[in-house]
């Protein structure tokens, strides 16, 4: 089994490499540092200072939560404590393996959520202090409980399915589980925009008018069919502005925050929508889904191979990685893998976002409005226009504000 699993892992990793090589934009349009410096000077000094103070205030909570979350995952996964929690969770149901799988998984995750909850509240207090959040503590708590409920439903189904496979196919669960995990990633790509997004926001069709017409015409000119243009009631939660294209195929729609309609000009809304259409035009959601499916399948097989390491099993106090009592060990390995892969994922994301920026410039032909939109996004959202290089490299999913403004200036000069 280990040989077959190892060969399957090599095939998946090779497929992952091929898809990445063919779909990820390894070349990006220039954003000269000299232009970045000039762009930074366009921001009032007090605004830059306020944005940097805001992010400095956020860092202890963000990195503290990350560190404590890792410690909790390792303590639960690499000691018998995690297996004990799973056992106790299943005890009211006679220790049935399915009860252990679902309720034990909930219990392990809930421990980490509760321990890191003070950091989430800390972050929330900073958002309130700087005027980014518009939610009351009660509304924030409701959203938090909603997110836990959605995670419980998706996680519960995944755990039940996974451990059903390990229980009834103990020799081949790695193969069946890999296929099932990949299928789940694909399924969620289609259903999340339709079923989950409405849990957190109310979406209403944008009223007929010049802006809606411009956005629909923009999508048609770009060759990206969209079902509708919706407005999200983001203002009940935040003052931040944003827009995005959600869904795949028949579920695709343009979504604009109501905050953007009040803060940005119509041309700026068109500019940021052109960026989002770029993701659809280049198939970034589909590419992400394929990469996610292949990566998740590979992760399941890697967990199977690592799970046969007796030292790990002894540390966790379990007999097999395929038993429900090993849930905490699985989550510990997933947490570590996520931290290791994070910088590479951030790098790929920045390249994809830079390509979407270029798409927006090509589609609208308006570098001035694009730059104005980036300035507005940075100003309203209190983004650090030129963040520390180490932080940007490790965690940033988008080019910095000054990078995007510099890219627009280079584009206007004909540099590609």
**Would you list which residues are annotated within the binding site for Zn(2+)?**
275, 279, 353
Contact status, residue 163 vs residue 101, Cβ threshold 8 Å: yes
Rounded CA separation 140/98 (Å) = 33
Angle (deg, nearest 10), helices 80-90 and 45-77:
80
Binding residues: 275, 279, 353
| Separation of alpha carbons 159 and 82, rounded Å | 16
Q: Which residues are catalytic?
A: 276, 357
Euclidean distance between CA atoms 255 and 68, whole angstroms: 35
Report whether 229 contacts 215 (CB < 8 A).
Answer: yes
Q: Exposed (0-12), middle (13-18) or buried (19+): which is 96, by Cβ within 10 Å?
A: middle
Strand order through the sheet with 229-232: 203-205, 229-232, 253-257, 243-246
Phi-psi region of 298 (alpha: psi -120 to 50; beta: other; left: phi over 0): alpha
Pairing of strands 203-205, 229-232: antiparallel
Strand spans (E) along 200-338: 203-205, 229-232, 243-246, 253-257
- What tokens were used for 86? 């799973």
DSSP assignment string, 369-384: HHHHHHHHHHHHTT--
Q: Hey, how many other C-beta atoms are within 10 angstroms of the C-beta on 265?
A: 14
Name the one residue in this structure whose structure tokens are 């289609």. Answer: 190
CB-based contacts of 182: which residues, under 8 Å, 6+ apart?
293, 294, 296, 297
């Amino acid at each position: 089994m280990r040989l077959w699993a190892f060969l399957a892992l090599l095939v998946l990793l090779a497929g992952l490499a091929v898809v990445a090589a063919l779909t990820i934009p390894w070349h990006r349009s220039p954003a000269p540092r000299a232009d970045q410096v000039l762009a930074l000077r366009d921001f009032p000094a007090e605004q830059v200072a306020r944005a940097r103070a805001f992010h400095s205030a956020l860092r202890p909570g963000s990195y503290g939560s990350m560190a404590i979350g890792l410690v909790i995952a390792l303590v639960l996964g690499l000691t018998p404590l995690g297996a004990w929690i799973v056992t106790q969770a299943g005890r009211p149901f006679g220790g049935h393996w399915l009860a252990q799988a679902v309720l034990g998984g909930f219990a392990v995750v809930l421990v980490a959520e509760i321990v890191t909850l003070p950091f989430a509240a800390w972050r929330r207090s900073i958002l309130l202090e700087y005027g980014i959040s518009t939610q009351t503590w009660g509304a924030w708590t409701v959203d938090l409980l909603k997110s836990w409920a959605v995670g419980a439903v998706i996680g519960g189904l995944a755990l039940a399915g996974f451990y059903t496979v390990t229980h009834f196919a103990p020799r081949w669960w790695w193969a069946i589980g890999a296929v099932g995990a990949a299928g789940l990633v694909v399924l969620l790509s289609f259903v999340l925009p339709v079923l989950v997004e409405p849990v957190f926001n109310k979406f209403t069709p944008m009223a007929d008018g010049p802006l809606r017409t411009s956005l629909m015409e923009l999508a048609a000119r770009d060759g990206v069919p969209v079902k509708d243009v919706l407005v999200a009631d983001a203002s009940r939660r935040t003052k931040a502005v944003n827009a995005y294209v959600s869904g795949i195929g028949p579920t695709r729609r343009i979504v604009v925050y109501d905050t953007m309609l009040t803060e940005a000009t119509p041309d700026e809304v068109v500019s940021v929508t052109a960026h989002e259409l770029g993701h659809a035009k280049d198939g970034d959601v589909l590419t992400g889904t394929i990469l996610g499916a292949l990566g998740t399948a590979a992760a399941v097989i890697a967990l199977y191979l690592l799970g046969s390491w007796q030292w790990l099993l002894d540390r966790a106090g379990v007999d097999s990685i395929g038993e429900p009592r090993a849930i905490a060990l699985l989550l510990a390995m997933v947490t570590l893998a996520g931290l290791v892969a994070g910088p590479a994922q951030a790098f790929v994301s920045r390249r994809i976002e830079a390509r979407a920026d270029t798409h927006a410039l090509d589609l609208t032909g308006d570098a001035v409005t694009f730059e104005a939109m980036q300035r507005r996004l940075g100003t309203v959202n209190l983004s650090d226009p030129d963040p520390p290089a180490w932080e940007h490299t490790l965690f940033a999913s988008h080019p910095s504000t000054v990078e995007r403004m510099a890219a627009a200036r280079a584009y206007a000069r004909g540099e590609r």
